[in-house]
A and B are shown apart, each in its own frame.
Chain A
Amino acid sequence: MRGMIVRRVLQSVPLLVLISVLVFALLQAVPGGPLAAYLENPNVRPQDIERLRVAMGLDRPLAAQYVSWLSAFVRGDWGYSFADGRPVLVRVFERVPATLELVGASTLLALCLALPVGVLASVHRLFDRITSFGAVAGISLPVFWFGLLLQLVFAITLGWLPSSGRASFGASSFADRLAHLVLPVVVLAAVQAAAWSRYLRRAMRETIGRPFMNAARVRGVSERGVLLRHALPNALGPFITVVLLDAAMMASGAVVTESVFAWPGVGSLFTESLVKRDYPVLMAFLMCGAIAVMVLNLLADIAVRSIDPRTRGTA
């Protein structure tokens, strides 16, 4: 196991460098640069722009800019945001807790929904039909529309829940924090639970048809036992991989949810930085995203190995 982890970490280094080159190049290819924001002021003149270009180091050749970014990045110096002049490390990590809270809570809720629904749908035909309808609806829901709809119903019409933000101004109670979490978490979880329950249902169905299931039944294992002790662990391996990878993607999928609910996470920072073409922040965000996907991928492999003994002998 340790060998695999070391090997995977080493493999990820060239991959990350490749990703950083691609991301750096892509950002340069997006029309309008970080100076565009200054151009909105009609009084800004070419000499102002040139002065700013030099001050930001944008006058140097791209390759030189990339090399100095990379060498600083690996040393933990992520530079300063073009937008507000604060260290990028501070800007990104001050947003992480809010995103972890949102993505963590939605993953948990989505799992609580997807696991029982997926398992039951694999054996109950009627339940399957009903939930399949719900799941298709959940997957097809545009996140921003669903978010605004929930806001309209629960915050404006009924007045039960706060419509946005992470906490009420001046309030610090746990209940207040929880109240603010409800709507964004429901939005994110609905979509995930829909997809995951369908995935689990299919994995279960595939396992249920296999000969060893009948062998278990012949040995006298109850139907519930067959389902939970034999089919589920087999279906769970690929399911966990999907869940962990989706969780990594959800941090970026939360961009829309964070905007609708004014949630102060990394997603909203990303949107804001993208609009301003704040390269240092965008690079850091995209690199963190790549690292998160790799780490969660590795975690998924480790989890699958610990659940499924058949995978332990292979690399």
Chain B
Amino acid sequence: MMRWSVRLSRRSARSSALGVAAALCASLAACGGETSRSGPSNELLIVGYDREPDTMNRYATHILEDIESCVVEGLVTNDEEMKIIPVLASEIPTTENGGVIVRPDGGMDVTWKLRPGVKWHDGVSHTSADVKFTVDAINKGDWKPESVDGFDRISSVDTPDSLTAIVHYKEVYAHYQLQFVRGTLPQHVLEGRDLNTANDYNRAPLGTGPYKVKEWKTGEYILLERAEGYWRGAASPKIKQLLFRFLTNTTTRINLLKSGEVHMVALVAWDKVRELEPIASLRMNRVVGNGYEHVTLNQRHFAPFADVKVRQALAHAVNRDLLVRTILDGQVEVVNGPIQPLSAAYEPKVPTYGFDPERARTLLTEAGWVPGADGIRMKDGKRLAFTLITQSGFAIRENVSQALQQAFRDVGAEMTVKLLDGTTISSVWFTGDFDAMLHWWQMGADPELTLFFAGDRMPPAGRNINYVNDTELSSLLYRSDRTADVAQRNELLREAQRRIAALAPEIVLYNTAKVDAVPKSLKGFTGNPTNAGPFWNVHQWEIGTP
């Protein structure tokens, strides 16, 4: 009897355990299904974001400022056509409107007129004193903002009235229009404080933008909430809350988009676009980016690259159309230079290097490189063999590297591929310790090329990691930097582009496309070709009917 009861109770325990498990599954399923899968609405838009910001301080962060820019506005921003448009400034200062004056001493004065009626989120007015405070805070030197470029050329700022800031430059600075694209620091909150450790500001900055930080849950998300009393009026922004979920794993980010747990993902990897296209609730928003993928040929590290014929030959060896059609899945376009068609300074008529392996072989022979026993060309007992570095974990680049390897081999050059992590690559930019590198430059809206091609801007003084040193080119670039006249500057830059193409210091492959996966119901979304990022006009977004 005793035994029976034990058995019975075991059996009933088993069946009740099964019941509990089933009920648990059902309730878990229900709760997983309901709370995390509601579609986008004007109450909440969930963004799958590829990384957690280090700081929300726009001047100190060294990653994209997408989240920050929803909170802290610049005096200007770039629109979807890469035009610089005023935000907190009431107009863009130019020589024509009298906002820019070149002084007889070679310096320059830029007058910024601020938009009236703009208030910080705490209700205090945004004034020219904030502009002056920002310049002083950056130039004081005891803070570690990411870059002080341009600010160190400012000698002083005058504030004749609360809405006028006159910025005095020591020399002509052609990029002045984007000087305050990262906005201003609120003087009334930060004066006298150590900005390195002002974590209340750095984690939840006081801004003038459409949103403010409601919560930053480390490792999980940042929640932005509509700022009441936004200067554009009560109708803006329409979406009440923006939730940025940090999803570092690319596949996870895409999986969450598919399952509906996130509503949009900015910058979808090109090889994932086709996978997402069939999802009915999503729209793939594609803009041509202001960047270009290329192979840097380091003339200092690998001497044969110093011969222009070798560089041109390698450029002719690559079938770029095929690369774009196959590996890149047609998401990008073949381009021929560092400045993209979006820019007013773009020059379309430059020497180009079409796929022509025969021409490549001829050029190499002319340069004295003759095929050795193994098919690899030799000159003075040295083989034409070099190493290309590129970023690991980036499937497209790994595939492109292999295609390049094959293409170069076909014309008699041996290339070894070495994959490095992103941080190591960044350091290499500064040391110049490599033969060739497959990577891209994401260019700013300002068409500056000096940093990348001037003879005296080789690392560590700049990003001329091709180590190209051409007097004519350097002169054109510096002249373009030292003119405040935009039309004249663009003409000089066009000539520079023709010169760069003739010199072929790098093998230009294709431009970068920026593909954002957004809900079909999201109105007002345009994307952005520059680092201003897709959130540049977040105040205009609205969830409507798809």
Contacts and interface: CB of A to CB of B under 8 A. Distances in A.
Nearest to A263: B219
A152 B258 CA distance: 9
A268 B245 CA distance: 14
Given A41-B62, A48-B148, A165-B245, A36 B36 contact: no
B416 interface: no
Interface in A255-283: 259-262, 264-265, 268-269, 271-272, 275-277
Contacts of B255: 148, 151-152, 155-156, 163-164
A259 B202 contact: no
B33 interface: yes
A210 B31 CA distance: 52
A307 to B, nearest CB: 28
A159 B147 contact: no
Interface in B208-265: 217-221, 223, 243, 245-249, 251-252, 255-256, 258-259, 261
Interface stretch (A65-73, A78-86, A106-114, A190-198): A78-86
A178 B28 contact: yes
B348 interface: no
Given A44-B146, A51-B144, A169-B243, A37 B426 contact: yes
B2 interface: no
B147 A43 contact: yes
Nearest to B217: A264
Given A41-B146, A262-B245, A262-B247, A160 B32 contact: yes
A256 to B, nearest CB: 9
Given A36-B424, A160-B28, A155 B259 contact: yes
Given A36-B423, A276-B423, A159 B33 contact: yes
A98 B219 contact: yes
Contact of A169 (B36, B252, B430): B36
B219 A161 contact: no
A274 to B, nearest CB: 9
A166 interface: yes
Given A38-B62, A272-B52, A171 B218 contact: no
B386 interface: no
Interface string A186-210: 0000000000000000000000000
Nearest to B531: A41
Given A80-B197, A148-B252, A164-B247, A43 B149 contact: yes
Given A44-B146, A175-B27, A268-B219, A164 B32 contact: no
A268 B27 CA distance: 29
A49 B460 contact: yes
Contacts of A170: 35
Nearest to A46: B460
Nearest to B144: A55
Nearest to B51: A272
Interface string B425-437: 1110110000000
A264 B249 contact: no
A230 interface: no
Contacts of B52: 272
Contacts of A40: 62, 422, 426
Contacts of A148: 251-252, 255
A178 B452 CA distance: 53
B424 A95 contact: no
A33 B424 CA distance: 8
A264 B218 CA distance: 7
B464 to A, nearest CB: 11
B423 A44 contact: no
Contacts of A51: 141, 144, 148
A46 B461 contact: yes
Contacts of B461: 45-46
Contact of B32 (A161, A260, A261): A161
Contacts of A176: 31-32, 35
A155 B423 CA distance: 33
Contacts of B444: 43
Given A85-B202, A264-B219, A160 B427 contact: no
B283 interface: no
B259 A45 contact: no
Interface size bracket, B side: 35 or more
Contacts of A14: none
Interface residues of A, number: 67
A214 B166 CA distance: 97
B472 interface: no
A94 interface: yes
Contact of A275 (B25, B252, B421): B421
A3 interface: no
A313 B89 CA distance: 81
A43 B147 CA distance: 7
A202 B119 CA distance: 72
A39 B245 contact: no
Given A39-B430, A84-B202, A169-B36, A275 B197 contact: no
Contacts of A85: 55, 60, 196-197, 199, 202
Given A37-B62, A160-B29, A162-B32, A32 B423 contact: yes
Contacts of A275: 421-423
A31 B31 contact: no
Contact of B37 (A144, A152, A159, A178): A159
B64 to A, nearest CB: 10
B441 interface: yes
A179 B32 contact: yes
A293 B25 CA distance: 35
A81 to B, nearest CB: 8
B196 to A, nearest CB: 6
Contact of B430 (A49, A262, A264, A277): A49
B61 to A, nearest CB: 9
Contact of B252 (A43, A160, A163, A168): A163
Nearest to A84: B54
A41 B46 CA distance: 28
Nearest to A90: B218
A284 B148 CA distance: 31
B452 A31 contact: no
Nearest to A94: B218
A87 B29 CA distance: 39
A179 B243 contact: no
B463 interface: yes
Interface in A143-158: 144, 148, 151-152, 155-156
B451 A43 contact: yes
Contacts of A48: 146-149
B248 A39 contact: no
B221 A169 contact: yes
B31 A55 contact: no
12 contacts: A38-B147, A85-B55, A86-B199, A94-B219, A159-B29, A163-B256, A168-B31, A169-B221, A171-B31, A180-B32, A265-B219, A276-B423
- 4 shortest A-B CB distances, which residue pairs? A264-B219, A168-B35, A32-B423, A179-B28
Interface of B: 24-25, 27-29, 31-33, 35-37, 44, 46, 51-52, 54-55, 60, 62, 141, 144, 146-149, 196-197, 199, 202-203, 217-221, 223, 243, 245-249, 251-252, 255-256, 258-259, 261, 420-427, 429-430, 441, 444, 451-452, 460-463
Given A84-B54, A156-B259, 10 more contacts: A36-B427, A42-B452, A43-B451, A44-B147, A85-B196, A86-B203, A160-B33, A162-B261, A165-B36, A171-B31
